[in-house]
Chains A and B, each alone.
Chain A
Amino acid sequence: MSPSLSRDDVAKVAKLARLRLTEEELTTFTGQLSGVLEHANDMNSLDLSALQPTSNPFGLTNVTREDVIWKSLDRDAVLAEAPDAQDGRFAVPRILGEAP
């Protein structure tokens, strides 16, 4: 598959990633990202259908912990690091829509 990354693609991706780009940045990033994707052509031309994907190098399984309660953080200390807090909670500007 030959990558042809458009400015629109980059703009869409920036929106998904909650980043704002200037027109100039959009141009620069489109070129740079296309370069990386073009390099990935060496990989994309291979038929690897027989291989399983590897997400983690060593296939550990069933790593769990016992259901034990530990000490939680001090709320005031945590909220002191927060950009904005009120009534023991983290404060944010208005939320535009329900969670997906």
Chain B
Amino acid sequence: MAKVIVVTSGKGGVGKTTTSASVATGLAKRGYKTVVIDFDVGLRNLDLIMGCERRVVYDFVNVIHGEATLKQALIRDKRLANLDILPASQTRDKDALFKDGVEKVLNELRKTHDFIVCDSPAGIETGAVMALYFADEAIVVTNPEVSSVRDSDRILGILSAKSKRALDGDDPIKEHLLITRYDPNRVQTGEMLSIDDIMELLGIPLAGVIPESQSVLTASNSGIPVIHDEVSVSGLAYQDLVERLLGEEVPIRFITPVKKGLFKRLFGT
């Protein structure tokens, strides 16, 4: 059975697209046929993070409106043969997505793929609701910061009230908390909400902690999802996340403060 996983947050800029790219890549690396869909209509960015921006011809909205076939719009990842990207359109208005159209595309993808990862736009408007509506699982991306935690809580409310599973009375969407841009040193000095604080506030199981790390920027600069970077803490933390999503028990790493030596200060993490 194919699984639809939405990566959502409410708040903008917390790491949804970074996470979508790495989770999709990680699942494909593990051998699952995976597709990652950009729901951010008008603000396409997933293509850049996946490094396929120059190969975009047709997009998600074209497919929904019958202007292109799914096959024409899917972009095969250049590193992994079992990974596809469905880009968002750059021009159309937000109402370009509608439920029946999205459902048709998802149902078609369910036949050919094991995992469908949906990169949600920020906010709680149409685009975000479309991205989460058909989800089986949700990764709620949260930064250790007040407004992000509050917005994650609002998104959790929407997942449990307005999603298809909620409205149909099916089993609820399986929720995963992902804390990103975590800085153990600042947590230790009492300047940043801790993992326990956030878990207590949001009350959903923790699926991963991605530390604040410079390699995320390096990865996006070069269009290679950070999970490919096997020497960076964030790359490894994303690998752990993927394993947990697949049901494996993996301890959380990189959450204890590190003393920054001269070397690290000079060369970064």
Indicate whether A and B interact.
Answer: no
